[in-house]
Amino acid sequence: MFEQLQDRLSGVLKTIRGQGKITENNISQAMRDVRRALLEADVNFKVAKAFVNRVQDRAEGEKVFTSVSPGQQFIKLIQDELVEFLGGDAEELKFKSSGFTVILMAGLQGSGKTTTSAKLACLLKKKQNRKPFLIAADLQRPAAIDQLEVLGRQIDVPVHSKRIKDAVSVVKSGLKQAEGLDVDTVLIDTAGRLHVDEKLMAELKSVVAIASPDEILYVADGMIGQDAVTSSLAFSVAISVSGIVLTKMDGDSRGGAALSIREVTQKPIKFLGMGESIDAIEVFHPNRLAQRILGMGDVVSL
Ligand SMILES: Nc1nc2c(ncn2[C@@H]2O[C@H](COP(=O)(O)OP(=O)(O)OP(=O)(O)O)[C@@H](O)[C@H]2O)c(=O)[nH]1
Ligand SMILES: [Mg+2]
């Protein structure tokens, strides 16, 4: 993912770097190229415009690029804005200091919620020594419970399930069971749904009301395009999402739509799904991704 974007942007940066003087003219030429690169990578057009405007405003604010290498100074500015655009500082999950923390996954069908629930449980267990517990609250798809149970066995994490139709009741009994167990993190897997499905969105709101999660993660398929941007906003408004997980980032899509989700929802991207295996999940670091996208090994130093 991002190869094309990387390719284009590093081309723009190369041109900038070669310039001895940064003038209004070459700023606007460079920003035209950046905008085109973003759009070609499927970044939402409003998001691309906002990004370019911000860089341009800052560049004009600095008026003259006075350092020994003005090109580098301009590149640094683009990089800083890209980090901001991707979310600034990395945002970690927030855990309760006492009692158990509840993390709920929501999103469209097939976005990767069940896989992410298990990946996250595994990551928290291995890397943070937490004691996770899974609740199988997808009662729409018959195989969903089995899928989570198989994953739970694989990572040795208990799974609460009930083969009934009422998700709210499953979540209630799951939370009750968790209280009696030695667990500190409850992860709730919910059914996939469309943001326009009123009945299922109402169910999701009821589940959220019962569980009052500390984190609501919107799990978005990084491979799908602009539709993902629209639905992420709808979910974010409906259930006050606290973070985004972009899955299938190992795929070969252009990636721009996925990146637009953060700007559109103003919610932090917290994790990236990088494959089908249980450990293919990464904590999201805006600065690392910005460097990758700009084709830089290290932070640009002035
Ligand atoms: N390559 C890749 N595949 C993924 C990733 N995350 C999930 N998948 C695959 O995507 C498919 C759907 O994943 P699920 O976790 O079942 O998605 P879901 O959101 O729970 O789906 P529903 O419950 O049907 O809404 C599965 O085949 C997963 O293996 C990822 O990061 N990379
Ligand atoms: Mg699922």
**Average pLDDT for residues 68-74, to the nearest whole number?**
80
Closest C-alpha residue for ligand 1 atom 13: 112
Checking if the pLDDT of 234 tops 90, the result is yes
pLDDT digits (tens, 9 = 90+) for 142-193: 899 999 999 999 999 999 999 999 999 999 999 999 999 999 999 999 999 9
pLDDT for 26 equals 84
**Both 70 and 108 in a single domain?**
no
Domain residues for 23?
3-86
Atom of ligand 1 nearest to the CA of 108: 25
Q: Is residue 107 one of the residues assigned to a domain?
A: yes
**Both 144 and 229 in a single domain?**
yes
Atom of ligand 1 nearest to the CA of 111: 19
Q: Is residue 221 one of the residues assigned to a domain?
A: yes
**Both 82 and 217 in a single domain?**
no
Taking the centre of ligand 2 as the mean of its atom positions, its distance from the CA of residue 9, in whole angstroms, is 36
**Both 134 and 81 in a single domain?**
no
Average pLDDT, the chain: 92
Q: Is residue 176 one of the residues assigned to a domain?
A: yes
- Ligand closest to 108 (CA) is 1
Atom of ligand 1 nearest to the CA of 280: 31
Closest C-alpha residue for ligand 1 atom 6: 112
**Both 115 and 251 in a single domain?**
yes
CATH label of the domain that carries residue 54:
1.20.120.140
Atom of ligand 1 nearest to the CA of 140: 23
pLDDT for 119 equals 98
Mutate to test the pocket of ligand 1, among 123, 245, 247 (most ligand atoms within 8 A of CB): 247
Taking the centre of ligand 1 as the mean of its atom positions, its distance from the CA of residue 47, in whole angstroms, is 27
SS3 readout for the chain: CCHHHHHHHHHHHHHHHCCCCCCHHHHHHHHHHHHHHHHHCCCCHHHHHHHHHHHHHHHHHCCCCCCCCHHHHHHHHHHHHHHHHHCCCCCCCCCCCCCCEEEEEECCCCCCHHHHHHHHHHHHHHHHCCCEEEEEECCCCCHHHHHHHHHHHHHCCCEECCCCCCHHHHHHHHHHHHHCCCCCEEEEEECCCCCCCHHHHHHHHHHHHHHCCCEEEEEEECCCCHHHHHHHHHHHHHHCCCEEEEECCCCCCCCHHHHHHHHHHCCCEEEEECCCCCCCEEECCHHHHHHHHCCCCCCCCC
pLDDT for 250 equals 92
Taking the centre of ligand 2 as the mean of its atom positions, its distance from the CA of residue 99, in whole angstroms, is 27
Q: Is residue 111 one of the residues assigned to a domain?
A: yes
**Both 109 and 246 in a single domain?**
yes
**Both 127 and 266 in a single domain?**
yes
**Both 204 and 239 in a single domain?**
yes
Pocket residues: Cβ below 6 A from ligand 1: 107, 109-115, 138, 141, 144, 192, 247-248, 250-251, 273-276, 280
Number of folded domains in the chain? Answer: 2
pLDDT for 300 equals 45
